[in-house]
């Protein structure tokens, strides 16, 4: 018998890509803040309207729902999405029937500059709440950093750079000398899918082996646009700051990173990835 997987955040960036990629391979139950039709084949249920039969089945839970913002004025939205929604879900489900609970947290937890943001604190708080409801032996907590994909329209660094390059504008990112860790979203989805099939039940991370200079991302993508090809030497990288830091969880053993250069170049070349 196929184990059903409850997925939260199916209408969000990573959640939507996960659902599209796994719909034909995983028995999905999408749960969100409201009842809505996601596609011709899939419906999202509100917590209150999860069909009763699902509450008595053995299930996996992939908790992707989150609200990201560093704006203090968004504190209520963050609390509702990152804490209250998850608590309501945990209360609704039969904990004895949960086989595996996978929670995606943020690498901000390990970054001093971002630890004090309410977004980060909300993610930390909910990680503690999960353990009040569910046996830790059933929990896989996976930490993510910056993600990217051709479909990303969020107001974040990579989409902003892509828009600027396509519109022949200057680099919109002020901190062009900084470095960031980037992970291709389909690689994350592959790892999360494998985690559902072979859970580790430990804390782990899905991050790149390298950090990338932000200014060089703009120059690299501009060169791709101008030449319809890419010169990998333009993209400046250095070993990830996470490597060798024993205070940070290890890489998830299901994660395999694909080619960073071609994945970035395809943001401009418009080669689609499912």
Paired tokens of 203: 């804390």
**pLDDT at residue 99 above 60?**
yes
177-193 pLDDT tens trace: 999 999 999 999 999 99
- More confident position, 231 or 2: 231
CA distance 45 to 152: 24
Query: Residue 72 to residues 66, 76, 108, 118, 157: CA-CA distances in angstroms?
Result: 16, 9, 16, 7, 20
Per-residue pLDDT band at 239 (split at 50, 70, 90)? very high
Per-residue pLDDT band at 1 (split at 50, 70, 90)? low
**pLDDT at residue 249 above 80?**
yes
Per-residue pLDDT band at 56 (split at 50, 70, 90)? confident
Count how many Cα atoms sit within 13 Å of the Cα of residue 66 in the half-sphere of its side chain: 24
**pLDDT at residue 53 above 90?**
no
- Average pLDDT rounded to a whole number, residues 40-63: 91
pLDDT at 161: 97
Superfamily of domain 1-144: NAD(P)-binding Rossmann-like Domain (3.40.50.720)
Average pLDDT over all residues of the chain: 94
pLDDT at 152: 92
- Average pLDDT rounded to a whole number, residues 145-159: 94
Domain coordinates in residue numbering, the chain: 1-144, 146-182+209-245+258-274
Query: Closest by alpha carbon to 103, among 209, 245, 200?
Result: 200
Per-residue pLDDT band at 3 (split at 50, 70, 90)? confident
User: Which of 19-23, 31-35, 224-228, 264-268 is least confident?
Assistant: 19-23
With a pLDDT cut of 70, the percent of the chain lying above it is: 98
pLDDT at 272: 55
């Amino acid at each position: 018998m196929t184990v059903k997987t409850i997925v939260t955040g199916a209408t969000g960036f990573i959640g939507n890509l996960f659902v599209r990629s796994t719909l034909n391979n995983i028995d999905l139950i999408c749960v969100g803040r409201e009842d809505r039709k996601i596609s011709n084949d899939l419906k999202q249920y509100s917590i209150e309207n999860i069909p009763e039969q699902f509450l008595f089945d053995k299930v996996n839970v992939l908790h992707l729902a989150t609200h990201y913002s560093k704006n203090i004025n968004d504190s209520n939205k963050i609390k509702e999405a990152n804490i209250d929604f998850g608590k309501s879900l945990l209360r609704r489900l039969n904990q004895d029937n949960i086989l595996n609970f996978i929670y995606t947290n943020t690498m901000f937890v390990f970054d001093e500059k971002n630890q004090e943001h309410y977004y980060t604190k909300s993610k930390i708080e909910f990680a503690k709440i999960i353990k009040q409801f569910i046996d830790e032996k059933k929990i896989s907590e996976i930490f993510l950093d910056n993600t990217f994909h051709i479909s990303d329209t969020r107001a974040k660094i990579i989409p902003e750079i892509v828009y600027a390059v396509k519109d022949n504008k200057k680099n919109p990112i002020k901190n062009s000398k900084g470095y960031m860790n980037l992970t291709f979203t389909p690689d994350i989805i592959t790892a999360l899918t494998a985690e559902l099939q072979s859970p580790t039940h430990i804390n782990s991370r899905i991050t790149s082996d390298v950090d990338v200079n932000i200014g060089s991302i703009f120059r690299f993508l501009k060169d791709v646009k101008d030449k319809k090809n890419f010169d990998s030497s333009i993209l400046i990288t250095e070993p990830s700051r996470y490597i060798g830091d024993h205070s940070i969880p290890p890489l998830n053993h299901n994660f395999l990173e694909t080619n960073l250069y071609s994945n970035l170049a395809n943001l401009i070349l418009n080669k689609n990835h499912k």
